[in-house]
């Protein structure tokens, strides 16, 4: 299954980050907060902005930013 952009996800749940595209300020901010390759994240609230739980805390993220985050479902 090809990775999906986080903005395309319609049901909250756990995901593994496959890649984060781009290199702007927002992408750096995402990565240092824990949304980067191979990290497990939880999409808590869908919308614009959306809420993602990662590394023990919740992050509010604009839709335009989560479009650059590609994920696949987390399989334990």
Partner 1 sequence: MKLSSAIAHRNIVIVGNPNAGKTLLFNRLTGLQAKTANYPGVTVDFREATAKLAGESFQIIDLPGLYSLDAISPEEQITRDFLTGAANAEITSPDLVLLVLDATNLRRNLFLASQVLELSLPVVVAVNVIDVARSRGIDVDIDSLSSRLQCPVVAVSAKTGEGIRKLEEQLVKATRSEELISEPLPSCTSGCKGCHFAARHDWAQKVICDSTSKVSSTSTVPFEMDRLLTHPVFGVVTFVLLMLFVFYMIFSFATLPMNLIDGAFTALGGWLREVIPSTKSRPAVWFGVVMMCATVCGLLICYAARIRFTTFRTLVLLAVATTVSLLPAKELQSLLADGVVTGVGGMLVFLPQICILFFFISLLEDSGYMARAAFVMERIMRCVGLPGKAFVPMLSAHACAIPGIMSARVIENWRDRLTTILVLPLLTCSARLPVYAMIASLLFLGSAMKAALVFVGAYLLGITAALCSAWLLKRTILPGEAIPLVIELPEIRWPSLRNALLTLVDRAIIFIRQAGTIILLISVFLWVLASYPQLPEKDAANILLQHSGENTAAQRLAQAEIEYSAAGRVGRFVEPVFAPLGFDWQINIGVMTSFAAREVVVSTLAIVYGIGEDAAENKTTLIETLRRQKRPNGSPVFTTATSVSFLVFFVLAMQCLPTQAVTRRETGSWKWAILQFTFMSCLAYLASLATYQLCCLWGLG
31 counts as binding partner 1 under rule CB under 8 A: yes
Is residue 51 a contact point for partner 1 (CB under 8 A)?
yes
| Cα torsion angle, 5, 2, 28, 12, sign | positive
CB of 59 to partner 1, least distance (A): 6
Closest CB 38 distance from partner 1, rounded Å: 6
> Strand ranges (DSSP E) for the chain?
4-5, 13-20, 40-45, 50-54, 57-61, 69-73
**Residues at the interface with partner 1 (CB under 8 A):** 25-26, 28-34, 36-39, 45, 47-49, 51, 55-62, 64-65
């Amino acid at each position: 299954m090809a990775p999906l952009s986080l903005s395309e996800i319609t049901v909250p749940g756990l995901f593994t980050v496959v890649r984060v595209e781009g290199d702007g300020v927002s992408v750096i901010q995402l990565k240092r907060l824990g949304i980067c390759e191979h990290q497990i994240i939880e999409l808590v609230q869908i919308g614009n902005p959306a809420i993602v739980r990662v590394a023990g805390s919740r992050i509010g993220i604009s839709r335009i930013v989560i479009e650059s985050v590609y994920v696949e479902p987390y399989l334990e």
